[in-house]
Amino acid sequence: MSLYQSPIHHLHQRRMQGEITTQEIVESCIQRIEDTEDQINSFLTLTLDQALEQAKKIDQKILNKDDIHPLAGMPIAIKDVFSTKGIPTTCGSKYLQDYVPPFESTVTEKLNTLGYSLLGKTNMDEFAMGSSTENSAFKVTKNPYNLDHVPGGSSGGSAAAVASGQALAAMGTDTGGSVRQPAAFTGIVGLKPTYGRVSRWGMVAYASSFDQAGPMTQDVTDTALLLNAISGFDNRDATSLQVDVPNYSEYLNQAITGLKIGVIKDLDLSACDEAVKSIYFQNLDALKSNGAEITEIEIPNIKDAIAAYYIIAPCEASSNLGRYDGVRYGLRTKEIDSLKALYEGSRDEGFGKEVKLRILLGTFALSAGYYDAYYIKAQKLQNLLRSQFHKAFKTVDAIALPTTPTAAFKIGEMTNDPLQMYLNDVFTISANLAGIPGISIPGGFTRDHLPVGFQLLAGHLNEGKLIQIAHNLESSLNLNKPSLAI
């Protein structure tokens, strides 16, 4: 088995025993990138020489008997929404195609402190608006299990990089499911932390009250490692939570006997493929066999979550993207005869179709005649959902849901039907509205060998409980993953 096929924690053990070097680990991923990138399109910017130099530095530290973190030198990819000092940060948009930040995001700063090897910046739906990575201004990323299918979005480049072995792990962001949905589509683990658990400083904003950084990894053990690395209070982020961060690795290998897993009464699974429904119930049975108690709960307004999200998120996008005006930074149109022409021309040339659509939706909902009818009502529904989840978590330890209603769809299949595309987020959005953590792990595979995800949600700041249950289920499923297409 090639080194790129092993999770970080296994490789760390082997290098500390002298079996392999960090340089060999990084070289394995670099070779994989060179062999597959022209077909998968995971990356927008590559920093392979930098990654190799960092690996050599870590190997010298190991020779010197210095203490190193398990993530030190490990080849990791970063979604191109995180600011990286001196390295382009485009957000998948023509507007920022020449933007090189003069500062580092908190997430990448924390990883730099641990000495990770940055392989590059991954492709994404423009400004994180999309569920397929088809909305990137530069390229379409493909699913490593079937190159005719999408890898999900908006963190599709990160998902494809990890699933294909181009990177051992990656960072994504989750505004309405953009870590968990692509993780489900590509057969990896993706976790959205509690809102405020991980600093958003240096993350380019889409919808500020929902955006949250999250790890994408080969297994749950690596998820715990990365979550420890990126979590914590940051006084540069006004929404960062000033709370202690537990050692998430301590939740691994714990029994789930007696834990209560909630199943939402009258959950509408009518939009789900038969394979998704079958795998969902099989995973519930596995949790029950492992000692968990499956119990029905009520969250009456979960059916309305998608409507509330697609009002609030575009409203916030409309506000956040107002800074892209052709004046301060980013693309500037050359056809200028007035300030209005500068604004209109720059935005018309710089923004893609989906971004324009969401800005228009948000601007409409915020307008004087519709603010109360749309935005205020959506916020009231959000508060109602939060209270319903809070009540549910008084009686259960976690809630189980499918991650997505279908496995990965074909490239181009939904590009002309935005509503159908939005419905891909039907099971993930409620966690963002409620600000609670959620995780997707591989639950099984369809007859066509496409991955299907299984999702767990937990109460506020209960990421440890998610890791405990997800690791227990992962260990018992012991899935044999089908061969990749490449």
Residues catalogued as catalytic = 79, 154, 178
Yes or no: say if 403 and 275 are a contact pair by the CB < 8 Å rule: no
Residue 188's SS3 state is coil
Residue found by looking up tokens 């998820």 in the block: 223
Pairing label, strands 169-173, 260-264: unpaired
Strands 260-264 and 398-402: what pairing?
A: parallel
Alpha helices in 41-179, H assignment, sequence order: 48-63, 106-114, 156-164
- Which tokens belong to 94? 């023509």
Q: For the sheet containing 438-445, what is the strand order?
A: 43-46, 117-122, 75-79, 169-173, 213-217, 189-192, 438-445, 451-457, 398-402, 260-264, 293-297
Structure tokens at 26: 């990084």
Distances (CA, A) of 8 to 26, 54, 220: 11, 16, 11
DSSP state for residue 373 in the 8-state scheme: I
> Tell me, what amino acid is at 406?
T
Whole-angstrom CA distances from 136 to 77, 323, 330, 336, 423 are: 17, 20, 16, 27, 20
Task: Answer whether 40's CB lies under 8 Å from 164's CB.
Answer: yes
Number of helices and strands in the chain (H, E): 15, 11
Tell me 213's DSSP state.
E
Of 125, 135, 138, which is closest to residue 416 (Cα–Cα)? 135
Helix (H, G, I), strand (E, B) or coil at 365: helix
Amino acid present at 481? K
Please, what is the end-to-end C-alpha distance for the chain in angstroms?
15
Please tell me whether the peptide bond between 154 and the residue prior to it is cis, using omega within 30 degrees of 0.
yes
Is the Cβ–Cβ distance between 237 and 223 less than 8 Å? no
Question: From CA 396, how far away is CA 13, in angstroms rounded?
Answer: 36
Question: What CA–CA distance (Å, rounded) separates 410 from 32?
Answer: 24
d(C-alpha 419, C-alpha 403), whole Å: 18
